[in-house]
Chain A
Amino acid sequence: MSSLVEERAPQTAGRAARLAMLDALGMPLLAILLAFVGGALIIWATSGDFGTVLAAYEGMISGAFIKTRGFSETLVATTPYIFLGLGLAIGFKAGLFNIGAEGQFYIGAISAVWAGIVFTGLPAILHLPIVMLAGALGGALWAGIPGFLKARTGAHEVITTMMMNYIAFRLTEFLVSVPLRDTLSSAVQTLRVSPNAELWSLWQIPQRLSDRLNALAVAIFFAALALALARWFVARGDMATRLTLSRRRVVVGGTGLAVGALAFFGLPALTQVWWPFSDQYDRLHIGIVIALAAAAAVWWLMYKTTLGFEMRTVGANPSAARYAGINISRNILITMALSGALAGIAGTIEVLGVSICRCLPLFFSSGYGFDSIALALLAKNNPIGIVGGAFLFGAMRNGADLMELNSGVSKYVISLIQGLVLLFVAAPSMVRYLLRMRAARKIEEEAPLTRGWG
């Protein structure tokens, strides 16, 4: 039901699926390439020197991947993009054009900082989940308000989420500069969160893991991951028929336990002996791992659960969904809250993992939330596509500095290239015209990006 493919005659289904795949994967890739070519033309036109184009792209690639800590910084920038892109994609899939991600990011960040400051003396195994939860709740609440307004009164979420952005900015400014302010610091910023609420940088891991409780937290994370994987594995066709239900439970539980135990006893010892990250100025942190796990979780939610199915149905055709007995209001509310929660976690991670002060400074104007709208569209709301797109956006954002430094090309060219990507993605017929391609037959389920009032 996820596409109409399954309802076609079997012999054409394979071909149609391949074409659909090509359309889903190829189009964004072509759009990206064309955007870079367009960017090159613009740099060429404005500088009048093709050497500048080469220097610019060379600088961007070197800054994003090659130079000292370049690749790490790219992953650091990728992490919030993944969360924000996922959050927005959930909304878009359900037909909700949430453009308030930037505000939800702020509220998530400030909620997490608050939770990081007021609770003290908790071990990381409790404190980290608490701050993440606080960030998620903050974002969920902030997006939930427009969701409630839409469900209850029909107020259009584009307007309300945009308004909520400004309230979020001003509220955060107030909280940072008055109640939570660190008066010792040179900058206007909040107090530092408790060390146990910080997200671990990779170079800290051997030292962090030497604490038994931290090792336990990591073990639980890996055990959960293994459980999910094992559960998916045994539910596949042949395994499901070969094993009885109780056998499968044993396999799943056993795998989880074994991986957890291995992680608990093995990882601390292993990292003491061998750990490739020793540069303590490297800002790469465990957020990227959490982000990848979140992408998998969102994929599962969207495509393997009833809730995800309902969301997609509401997005594809609300009237049909209502006719099928799906509670639209409830769905809008849940979708918005989830979308906001992911944005809130992005803010949490940026503050607890990246900012050196492990605090929220004033002027935390990230722009991540707005870029991510383009990102979600580029990825066609597909969680895997979002991971790839986030990496691209992160690399561009990070490479931009060295590009500007080496070639003198303003780093705002990056926004221009992102804009071109969006343009080409939004208008696939333009790409086809430029490349003289024929259109694949339209067989995809597509959610309208936004609907009218009511």
Chain B
Amino acid sequence: MRTKIFVCVALLVVVALALGACAAPTAAPAAKKKVGLVTDVGGVNDKSFNQSAWEGTQKAAKEFGFDTKFIESKQPTDYEKNIDQFATEKYDVIITVGFLMGDATAAKAKQYPNIKFAIIDNAYFPTKGVAYCDDTKKDCYVDGGLTNVTSLMFQEDQVGFLAGVLAGGMTKTGTVCTVSGMEIPPVVRFVVGFQNGAKWIKSDAKALNVYIPSFTDPAKGKETGQSMISQGCDVVFGVGGNTGNGGLLAAKEKGLMAIGVDVDQYLTYPEVKDALISSAAKNVDIAVYNYLKSVSDGSSKAGVFTANLQNGGVGLAPFHDWDSKIPQAVKDKIKAASDGLKSGSIQTGYKP
């Protein structure tokens, strides 16, 4: 019997070794530039901004002939490791998605000065006590050593403001609310813009908000949405990836109104489309696409690039099924607010 076991084991070992050893060299020497995308913990199918970044990358890859791959981060200690994964595989461009990856991206950008980095939602400013760019520097991208980093930023407060105007115009109870993710600058910009927008159109509007310290907790989002609905809120703005999606679902189940975030969620989250009056979109895909375009023609620069209403980088998504139900007066107000924000005659009230 022991010989039999031995034979079995030996065979299996041979198979296992063969699997490892015979593997053909995976890639022929490619002249194509390699672009890697590291997502945040939401993952590449988050129906929101990681997904949008990946779509932009794929579109650019098709047009400009890049090789692209993504790695999903499981947890924050993975950020550096995942960036390193691309760097040691000799990728030319690494895109990191999200404010939370700011420190990891800066550290790795310094380690690999010959690789181009783009980070979404995080801009670097000289800050006292921050190792990679302290307050003795003038500009992190110029003399702070991050000369290979491009920050793709969005004025979420502008589109949040427009969403607020829409919500304030549509509410019957006079109370609107936001189910928010973590209290980080991009989320705060959305929320502050939204609240001020609602008050701009309806000065006595009440705006409720709860920050939930997660982007991946739809159950908690839904619960929070329900509790705010019970306090009179009838337009729910979900700002926080999957957590926010829970808020949208709560509104849909009560037959109320909801506003999506980051992308046109009518398309990405059709389960709630009956309730969705619009979405406060930030066009991450376009920003990534434009960045890769600049990489492809050699014109990419380090520094901060801000997408806003003026350049079409952020904006309200179409009203879809609600188009006929939204009064013309409200649409006019949105138009007026948009013009005012563009010209600077209206301020969103967000202060960094």
Give Cα distance in the complex from A402 to B69, angstroms. 11
Does B19 lie within 8 Å of A68, measured CB to CB?
no
27 contacts between A and B (CB under 8 A): A26-B5, A33-B13, A34-B12, A36-B16, A53-B19, A54-B24, A55-B23, A57-B20, A58-B23, A58-B26, A59-B26, A177-B213, A185-B102, A186-B99, A186-B122, A188-B100, A188-B182, A354-B77, A356-B103, A356-B107, A361-B100, A362-B76, A362-B214, A363-B75, A364-B77, A365-B75, A437-B1
**Minimum C-beta distance from B86 to chain A (A):** 8
**A55 in contact with B26 given A189-B76, A361-B77 (CB within 8 Å):** yes
Q: Which of A1-51 contact B (CB under 8 A)?
A: 22, 26, 29-30, 33-34, 36-37, 40, 51
Q: Which of A161-182 contact B (CB under 8 A)?
A: 173-174, 177
Partner of A186, one of B12, B15, B100: B100
The answer to whether B231 has its CB under 8 Å from any CB of chain A is no
Does A437 lie within 8 Å of B74, measured CB to CB?
no
Partner of B214, one of A37, A61, A363, A367: A363
Give Cα distance in the complex from A401 to B54, angstroms. 17
| A-side contacts of B16, CB under 8 Å | 33, 36
Q: Count CB-based A-B contacts (< 8 Å).
A: 134
The answer to whether B328 has its CB under 8 Å from any CB of chain A is no
Could you give, for residues 102-121 of chain A, a 1 whenever the CB lies within 8 Å of some chain B CB and a 0 otherwise?
00000000000000000000
Give Cα distance in the complex from A40 to B12, angstroms. 13
The answer to whether A435 has its CB under 8 Å from any CB of chain B is yes
Partner of A185, one of B5, B41, B103, B213: B103
Partner of B4, one of A69, A177, A437: A437
Could you give, for residues 91-108 of chain B, a 1 whenever the CB lies within 8 Å of some chain A CB and a 0 otherwise?
000000001111110010
Partner of B213, one of A63, A354, A362, A437: A362
The answer to whether B326 has its CB under 8 Å from any CB of chain A is no
Give Cα distance in the complex from A173 to B181, angstroms. 13
**Minimum C-beta distance from B252 to chain A (A):** 26
| B-side contacts of A34, CB under 8 Å | 12
Does B9 lie within 8 Å of A30, measured CB to CB?
yes
The answer to whether B130 has its CB under 8 Å from any CB of chain A is yes
Give Cα distance in the complex from A367 to B78, angstroms. 12
Does B22 lie within 8 Å of A54, measured CB to CB?
yes
| B-side contacts of A29, CB under 8 Å | 9
With a 10 A CB-CB cut-off, give which of B2, B16, B20, B76 has the most chain A CB atoms.
B76
Q: Which of A383-442 contact B (CB under 8 A)?
A: 401-402, 404-407, 411, 435-438
| B-side contacts of A317, CB under 8 Å | none
Apart from A57-B23, A185-B103, A363-B76: 9 A-B pairs, beta carbons within 8 A: A33-B9, A51-B24, A185-B102, A187-B99, A356-B107, A361-B100, A362-B182, A363-B41, A367-B74
- Number of B residues with CB within 8 Å of any CB on chain A: 52
Does B26 lie within 8 Å of A401, measured CB to CB?
no
The answer to whether A67 has its CB under 8 Å from any CB of chain B is yes
Give Cα distance in the complex from A50 to B85, angstroms. 25
| B-side contacts of A363, CB under 8 Å | 41, 75-76, 100, 214, 216
| A-side contacts of B101, CB under 8 Å | 186-187
The answer to whether A73 has its CB under 8 Å from any CB of chain B is yes
Give Cα distance in the complex from A37 to B352, angstroms. 55
The answer to whether A366 has its CB under 8 Å from any CB of chain B is yes
The answer to whether B310 has its CB under 8 Å from any CB of chain A is no
| A-side contacts of B46, CB under 8 Å | none
**Minimum C-beta distance from A399 to chain B (A):** 11
Does B1 lie within 8 Å of A186, measured CB to CB?
no
Does A69 lie within 8 Å of B13, measured CB to CB?
no
| B-side contacts of A58, CB under 8 Å | 19-20, 23, 26
What 10 A-B pairs are tightest by C-beta distance, nearest first?
A186-B102, A58-B23, A361-B76, A54-B23, A33-B12, A187-B100, A68-B88, A355-B77, A57-B19, A435-B8
Give Cα distance in the complex from A355 to B213, angstroms. 20
| In the complex, residue of chain B having the shortest beta-carbon distance to the beta carbon of A174 | B213
**Minimum C-beta distance from A365 to chain B (A):** 5
Give Cα distance in the complex from A258 to B198, angstroms. 76
With a 10 A CB-CB cut-off, give which of A36, A173, A362, A436 has the most chain B CB atoms.
A362
| B-side contacts of A184, CB under 8 Å | 127-130
Give Cα distance in the complex from A51 to B26, angstroms. 9
Does B4 lie within 8 Å of A436, measured CB to CB?
yes
Give Cα distance in the complex from A30 to B6, angstroms. 11
Q: Which of A265-307 contact B (CB under 8 A)?
A: 281, 283
| In the complex, residue of chain A having the shortest beta-carbon distance to the beta carbon of B184 | A188
**A281 in contact with B89 given A26-B5, A53-B19, A350-B77 (CB within 8 Å):** no
| In the complex, residue of chain B having the shortest beta-carbon distance to the beta carbon of A29 | B9
Could you give, for residues 236-248 of chain A, a 1 whenever the CB lies within 8 Å of some chain B CB and a 0 otherwise?
0000000000000
With a 10 A CB-CB cut-off, give which of A53, A73, A189, A363 has the most chain B CB atoms.
A363
Give Cα distance in the complex from A361 to B107, angstroms. 16
| B-side contacts of A187, CB under 8 Å | 76, 99-103
Q: Which of A313-330 contact B (CB under 8 A)?
A: none
Partner of A30, one of B8, B74, B99: B8
**A188 in contact with B19 given A363-B75, A365-B41 (CB within 8 Å):** no
**Minimum C-beta distance from B348 to chain A (A):** 22
Does B71 lie within 8 Å of A281, measured CB to CB?
no
Give Cα distance in the complex from A67 to B85, angstroms. 9
**A281 in contact with B111 given A57-B19, A58-B26, A355-B76 (CB within 8 Å):** yes
The answer to whether A357 has its CB under 8 Å from any CB of chain B is yes
| B-side contacts of A40, CB under 8 Å | 19
Give Cα distance in the complex from A69 to B82, angstroms. 12
| In the complex, residue of chain B having the shortest beta-carbon distance to the beta carbon of A364 | B75
| A-side contacts of B23, CB under 8 Å | 54-55, 57-58
| A-side contacts of B130, CB under 8 Å | 184
Does B82 lie within 8 Å of A401, measured CB to CB?
yes
| B-side contacts of A61, CB under 8 Å | 20
**A73 in contact with B19 given A59-B26, A356-B104, A357-B103 (CB within 8 Å):** no
